[in-house]
Chain A
Amino acid sequence: MHYIPLGATAALAAVAALIFPADGAVASAGADVAGLVILPVAGAAGAVLAGWITGASLRNMRGDYFAAATLILSEVFVLLAANLDFLGGALGFELRVSRESLRHTHVDAWNAAVLTLAASANAAIWLLARRLSSTRFGLQLEAARDNPIAAAASGIEGAHHQGRVFVASCGFAGFAGGLFLYYTANIVPNDFSFVSGLPIIICVVLGRSSSVGTAIATVGLYVAEAALQLRLLGLFGSRIGGTMAEMRGLFMAIVLILAVLAGPALHRLPFAAAFLRTAWKRSQPGAV
């Protein structure tokens, strides 16, 4: 997942070089505005291409093997980007923006524009996902996830459908990558290495196939990490608090291991909750 923005970087860098010359400053405000549109779109296009190459070359792999192979490919993308001079090499790609550009002259308006675009893109993706879930295609995707063999026996092209969604997801990630580059004006390949992707993997493992679960897991993990980092666990200033802050990577690793070990139990949590709810209702006076 995290390698897709990086895959996009290669594509968007070429476009970026045209409107944001690496050896000069961005002179016009127009170029800055154009960047807000062009960079995410170019990022999406580049990531779709990277995703299509990944999907096509690994189409016979399934499950864990597919996950492992995509991680390896992501590392290939990282190494490629880190060794291409026109992308800035290991130091990363930098947008040179002049003091006359909008981000300096109209800071608040520029921030609002970028955040609005990011929020709009999120809303659009959410709406798209909702729309897809109520279509035959969406139902077939769910079916292929639940039971690939039964899906095949029902004539469903599960792998093909999943491939289309994978490529589309790459496009969304690439769009985010383009926007991220535009906002930070700097992208470093190593920011998208395997290690940096671990927190995202933990969120997905914890949240399992549920979108809400993944969202809760993401918020929970980042709050926990921030609490550890800021020594907010009642240990402020103490030596233990400092050690915990330094060892928060270890904390994340332990959470990942526990999530894998307790995976089936986590999956049963909704059923356990439903059981407790029913038992509680039946225990109420007047319940049949």
Chain B
Amino acid sequence: MPSDILHVERLTVAFGGLTAVRDISFSAGPDQLLGIIGPNGSGKTTLLDCLSGFRRPKKGSVHLCGIELLGKPPQEISRLGVGRTFQTPRLFESLTPAEHLLVAQRTGKSGQPGLFDAIPPGAALGIWNANAVASVVFGSMPELAGKLPFGQRRLLELARAVETLPKVLLLDEPSAGMNDAETEVLLQALRMLHRDRGITIILVDHNVPFVRAACDRLIAMDAGQVIAQGLPDAVLSDSKVVDVYLGHETC
């Protein structure tokens, strides 16, 4: 569809004889908050890896605003507008949170800094306050990212991804390891990015109440295939999804 931001067509990923993702097709429109759920090993993270260029699929295509992403390196895909966070937060341990945002910013025509492109005084604080996630999440800037507690590490990773000015944001288990308060902050931040910035968000998570509250569309996967997709309530009550993922209540 021409109005789609992201269009995935017949994507297949295989590791030797094991097909991790099989013939998956879906689209994500502007301002959409799409959730992907499924049991462990169903191919959710592999799918995100393909969309962000960290894994090369066997066949299929991925278009971002009409531009083919397959075959491009992750850094180029990021600059084209696909932001990404990881299952285990990946931070730059020797940098401060504000510096995380500085390094992710696009500068110059190519999006790459010049050799002596100096950072203006006060830039870090300005960027910090302007970042939709950072300004909400953190009241202060701790010394180094390596000293942050787990929940804040996740949120910092999200703030860094936002700083790359993505059209599409891929979040791999963003609420995993977070307490209730942090999950609530995350939910607020996602809604703000979605509503105010118009960023298309695709998130993978096992926290079903969080997914239900955050997403306006769900895709359920099992064994590398889509088994259901549609509105959250419809997908979460789908018999196949209940059988392979949610389970039946026994008493």
Contact = CB atoms under 8 A, between A and B. Distances in A.
Contact of B84 (A134, A139, A153): A153
Interface in B61-112: 73-76, 78-79, 83-86, 90-95, 99-100, 102-107, 111-112
A142 B95 CA distance: 8
Nearest to B105: A136
A153 B75 CA distance: 6
A153 B52 CA distance: 8
Contact of B113 (A135, A146, A147): A135
The A interface is mostly helix, strand or loop, or mixed, namely helix
B2 to A, nearest CB: 26
Contact of A150 (B90, B112, B114): B90
The CB with the most chain B CB atoms within 10 A, among A139, A153, A157, is that of A153
A170 to B, nearest CB: 16
B101 to A, nearest CB: 10
A31 to B, nearest CB: 35
A139 B95 contact: yes
B103 A143 contact: yes
Interface size class of A (residues with CB under 8 A): 20 to 34
A154 B107 contact: no
Contacts of B157: 150
The B interface is mostly helix, strand or loop, or mixed, namely loop
Given A134-B119, A136-B119, A150-B92, A156 B102 contact: no
Contacts, number: 100
Contact of A147 (B92, B115, B117): B92
B161 interface: yes
B94 A146 contact: yes
A154 B113 CA distance: 13
The 8 closest A-B pairs by CB, nearest first: A155-B78, A136-B113, A150-B90, A152-B74, A146-B92, A154-B104, A155-B79, A143-B92
Interface of B: 52-54, 73-76, 78-79, 83-86, 90-95, 99-100, 102-107, 111-119, 157, 160-161, 164
19 contacts: A134-B119, A135-B113, A135-B117, A137-B116, A139-B119, A140-B103, A142-B92, A147-B93, A149-B86, A152-B54, A152-B74, A153-B83, A154-B104, A154-B160, A154-B164, A155-B104, A155-B106, A156-B75, A157-B75
Interface of A: 131-132, 134-137, 139-140, 142-143, 146-147, 149-158, 164
Given A137-B117, A150-B91, A153-B85, 8 more contacts: A142-B103, A143-B100, A143-B103, A147-B90, A147-B93, A154-B78, A154-B160, A155-B76
